[in-house]
Structure 1
Amino acid sequence: MTGILLTDFYMMRKQLALGAGIAVVYLVIGIANHSAWSLVTFLMIFAAILPMNIFYYNDQCQWDLYVNTLPVRRKDYVNAKFAFVFLLVLAALIFGLVGISLDNLIHSAPLLENVDYALITSTGGLVYASVFLALIMKMGSERARIFMIALIFIPAIAVLTLPKMGIDLGHLLEIADPHIFIPLGAAAAFAVILIAYLFCLKFYKQKEL
C-alpha cells in the first residue's frame, strides 16, 4: 500500500506544486482582505478533485493492470487512494488553519475566528472526495466526471437559491444547538465516508482489469 501511495504522490507532484503556488496567492490576498477563510475553500475543492486526475493517469497508462500483477491486494489499492485523500485534506486543513491564524493575528481578530468554518469545510472535503472515489471506482474517471461536477454545482446552486425562497441558512446555523448539530454532522459525515469506502472495496474487487 505504501508503494502505491508514494506513486500517487509522485504522479501528482506537478499538480501539488501548482496547487501550493495558488494557495500562497490565495493566502496573500486573503490576509490583505481579511478573508483567509477563502483559502480553505480553495484547498478543499482542490483536495477533493485531485484524485480524479490520479485515476485519469492510471487509465491512460494502464497502471491498474501492472499493479495487480504485484503481490498487492485490491483492498490495499483502495486503502492507498483513501490514504492519499486523507493526507491531502489533512495538509490542506493545517495550511488553512495557519493562514486563518495569521490573518486573525494581523487584523487583531479573535485567534479562533473562522476555525469552525475550516473544520466544517475539511469534513465536507473528505465526504466529497470519498463519494468521488466511489463514483470513479464504479464508472471510471471519464464517465464519473459528469456526476462529480454535478455534485459540486448542485449544492452550490441550492445555497444560492434558498435565500430567494426565504430560507436563511445563516440564521438556521445560528439557532442550531451546537451540542446536537456538531455530533450529528460528524456522525453523518463518518457514515457517508464509511459507506463510500465499502462501496469502493466492492466495486474494485468486482472490476475486470
Structure 2
Amino acid sequence: MRALLLKDLYLTIRYHWYMVPISLMMFTIAVIGYGNIFFEVYPLIFAALIPDSLIAEDKSCGWIEYVNIMPFSRKQYVSAKYIYSAIIFAVILAFVFISHSVRFAVGNGSVPGTEILFAAAWLLLAPTVTMPLIFRLGSGRARISYIAAALVIGAIVPIYTDAELMYRLQPSVHIAAMLISLLLFAVSWLLSIKFFERREL
C-alpha cells in the first residue's frame, strides 16, 4: 500500500507540479480580494480531478495491466487511489482554511469558514461519481465520467459567485453537506472495489 501511495505521489509531482504555483496564486488573490471565495476553493478543483488523471496515467503507460502479477490485490490498488485522493483533498482543504483565516485577519473575509466545507462537499462528488465508472469501464470507455466531473465542478461556480446565497445557507447545512459527501465517497470506494475485482484487464 505504501509503495502504491508513493507511486501516485511521484506521478503527481511529475505531471501535476503546476498546481502548486497556480494554487499559491489563487490563495494570494483570495487574501487580497473581497466578496466570494471562489479563488480560495479553486485549488480544490485540482484535488477533485487528480484521481481520474492518475488512473488514466496508469492506463496510458500500461502499468494497470500488470496489476494481477503485482504483490498487492486489486482491492489494495483501488484503496490506495481513494486514500491518496483523500490525503490530497485534506491537505489542500487545510491550506484553503489557512488562506481563509488570513483573509479574515486582514479584514477581507465576508463569509464564515463553513462555506469552504460546502464547496469541498460539492467538489468531492466529482471523484465520488467518476472513479466507480472508471474502475468498471476503464478510463477510455468512461469518458462520460469526465463530463460528469465537469458538470459537478461547473455547478459550484454560480453558487460561489453569489455571496447573498452563501449568507442564506446556515453553517449546519454546510457541515451536513460535507458529511453526506464523505458517506457517498465511502460508498463509491466500496463500489469501485467490487467493480475492479470483477473487471477483466
TM category (shorter chain) comes to: 0.7 to 0.9
CA deviation profile, 1:146-172 (whole Å, cap 9, x unmatched)? 3332343267469859xxxxxxx9888
Among the aligned pairs, what percent are the same residue?
A: 24
CA deviation profile, 1:123-151 (whole Å, cap 9, x unmatched)? 33323222221121112223323333234
Q: Distance in 1 between matches of 2:109 and 2:177?
A: 27
1:129 maps to a residue whose letter is P
Q: Which has more radius of gyration?
A: 1
3-state secondary structure, aligned to 1:141: coil
Alignment of 1:20-35 (within 5 A): 20-34=20-34
Residue of structure 2 equivalent to 1:204: 196
Q: Is the 8 A contact 1:133 1:196 kept in 2?
A: yes
Q: Is the 8 A contact 1:123 1:189 kept in 2?
A: yes
Q: Is the 8 A contact 2:45 2:153 kept in 1?
A: no
Unaligned ranges ≥5, structure 2: none
Q: Distance in 2 between matches of 1:144 and 1:153?
A: 15
Q: Is the 8 A contact 1:126 1:193 kept in 2?
A: yes
User: How far does residue 183 in structure 1 lie from its aligned partner after superposition?
Assistant: 6.4
Residue of structure 1 equivalent to 2:113: 115
Q: Is the 8 A contact 2:78 2:192 kept in 1?
A: yes
Q: Is the 8 A contact 1:41 1:121 kept in 2?
A: yes
Residue of structure 2 equivalent to 1:165: none
CA RMSD of aligned residues (A): 2.9
TM-score when scaled to structure 1? 0.80
Unaligned ranges ≥5, structure 1: 162-168
| CA distance 1:19–1:53, change in 2 (3 Å) | same
Of 180, 184, 196, the match for 1:188 = 180
CA deviation profile, 1:24-55 (whole Å, cap 9, x unmatched)? 11122222213582234212211111112111
